[in-house]
Amino acid sequence: MKIVIINGPNLNFLGTREPDIYGRQTLDEIENRIQEYAERQEVACSFFQSNSEGELIDRIQQAHMDKADGIILNPAAYTHYSYAIHDAVKSVNVPTVEVHLSAIHARESFRKESVVAPACVGQISGFGAVGYLLAIQALKEVRNKGEEQ
């Protein structure tokens, strides 16, 4: 099983950025943790981060071309207003789980809405880096269900 983990703007600043909200782990540390977990689950992971909307869209489309089995996507602030990322997720044939480190529904009102989530199979928020591990489990479930049918 192949999964692509895509992180959006400012997530390259994890560790430095508002640690009370996003924790003290850097993106590299989080990706290493995901990698170790995924190996134990026999899942192959690739990682991508960009601060640009177009690059995130290109990587979502690439996941389709590479026949990935799933995408784990933290669109960061784009979550709340990028119809282009919504459309990209809808365009590809790859189940996508939206992940947020923080509990977006318990924060400022502009963070409560995700315009990307309706294009996804589900959303996980508020569990810090563990959310990415939960998303791997969720994608395995989605895949097993597909195989049962």
Residues 6+ apart with CB under 8 A from 66: 2, 4
CB-wise, 38 or 76, nearer to ligand DQA?
Answer: 76
Minimum distance between the CB of residue 22 and ligand DQA, rounded to whole angstroms? 6
Note the residues at the interface with ligand DQA (CB under 6 A): 10, 74, 76-77, 79, 100-102, 104, 111
CB-wise, 2 or 51, nearer to ligand DQA?
Answer: 51
Minimum distance between the CB of residue 73 and ligand DQA, rounded to whole angstroms? 10
Residues 6+ apart with CB under 8 A from 14: 22, 23, 25, 26, 27, 30, 101
Q: Indicate which residues carry an active-site annotation.
A: 22, 100
Calculate the CA 78 to chain-centre distance: 12
- Alpha helix segments (H runs only) across 41-126: 53-65, 83-91, 109-112
Residue 71 near residue 8, CB atoms below 8 Å = no
Minimum distance between the CB of residue 76 and ligand DQA, rounded to whole angstroms? 3
Minimum distance between the CB of residue 120 and ligand DQA, rounded to whole angstroms? 13
CB-wise, 2 or 17, nearer to ligand DQA?
Answer: 17
Residues 6+ apart with CB under 8 A from 124: 97, 98, 99, 100, 131, 134, 135, 138
CB-wise, 94 or 99, nearer to ligand DQA?
Answer: 99
